[in-house]
Structure 1
Amino acid sequence: MYQNCTPLPKYHHDATLASLKSNKFSGLITSLPETPLSLTRQLPTVSFDRPISREIPMVSCDNYGGGHLIAQTVLKRGAKEILIFCGSQQDLSPINERLRGMMDCFQKRQTKFSTAYLDFTAGNLFKQVQLAKLLTGQKYDAICCSDDITALLVKQRVRQLSYQPLVTGFDGSNFVRNFFPDLLTVKQPIKDLAALTCQLLDQRLRRGHFPSGHKQELPVTLLDL
């Protein structure tokens, strides 16, 4: 099985797809929205967190509900100037569910917000330049990030700029909780998500079928300060 949670460089991506097409794998778990449909018709496939097509089952956490929880918490802290910051442009267009949860909550409360993204495939130096350009001279009350890694990069940059907006993440991995316990974030049930994803794929491999286009969501937990 092949599983990937971040976009691959094009040459690596092409090589991986070629390897999959050569029937060296019996099944596929993917989070790449650009996974070719021709490949998913050859291999039993389950998508994690990214819709591929109506025919492919998808497993995810309650991204919309998690985004809504983050937005509610930010508003309770009194934030009025808010930036929604994404780890990739794909998260902005089409808007994924966790961002939509944030936006719907802010719009309902008639709260001003902006959106921006970071080119996560770029090198560290270029990412630092992007962050500097985006944040220098700005005074956001809160910066709501699409994931914890982006949030940690933002927290590092705003410390250098000597101002302290509320920075939030999304994912809540053990690493983040152990080493950055002060990050306000949403915890995904990673083990349960992994088990369910593998269970769905195993059903297809063993029984030859599972409901097409079936989506299953698991609840999330807010990790407050």
Structure 2
Amino acid sequence: MTAEPRKRGRAQAVRDLKRSLILEAARTIFETEGLDGASLRAIAAEAGYTPAALYFHFESKEAIYAEVLQASLNNLREAVATAVANTNGPAPRLRAAAMAFFKYYADNPRDLDLGFYLFRGGMKPKGLGRERDEQLNAGLAAALLPIAEAARAMGASQEEADLMMVDTFAHAAGMLLLAHTGRIRMFGTSAPGLMERYIDERIGQLERLVGAQAAAPALSFLKSND
């Protein structure tokens, strides 16, 4: 390798290191201050740089937040994929995917906070810009996709599988909110236990629905031959 490529390689390594330090510092600030409360000045101070230096790597704090959250969603997707890969059969895969999704956020409450950036300042949604929001939503959907795929493998229609995925996400979000705020204690139960029970009930419902749909053509045939 000549001197020039080595020089470019070192320069790229330095840029990558600075970028990673900025993202690490930004996550710390976002975790404590949220999106609205954070500032580029605070992120820069945490990373050991000047605010102007951040603009060499990111155009805005929203761009930084989007990258921090995307990394979190990538970790979530890997956790769900790993759980599914080690499981055989569509129903067990559905259960494993749903519980892996729940467990990731149960074990990483700060990641859950990052994911709910849309509701900073109350229930009025505030995003990061249309393009970034769409990319982040796609990242979340990719993590949830194994649930729909398992439901399809069980014989559900695409509509039913998508509904299973959405229902699981909504229920998990509610259970996680109760768990992380401590409100679950007033019911004398545990969020993981309730989540497992819900998933098992939904799998049972899906199995009965698919079974009924499979039996319907046969019953129709018998009636037509009476």
Could you tell me the TM-score, scaled by structure 2's length? Answer: 0.31
Relative contact order, higher structure (CA 8 A, sep 6+): 1
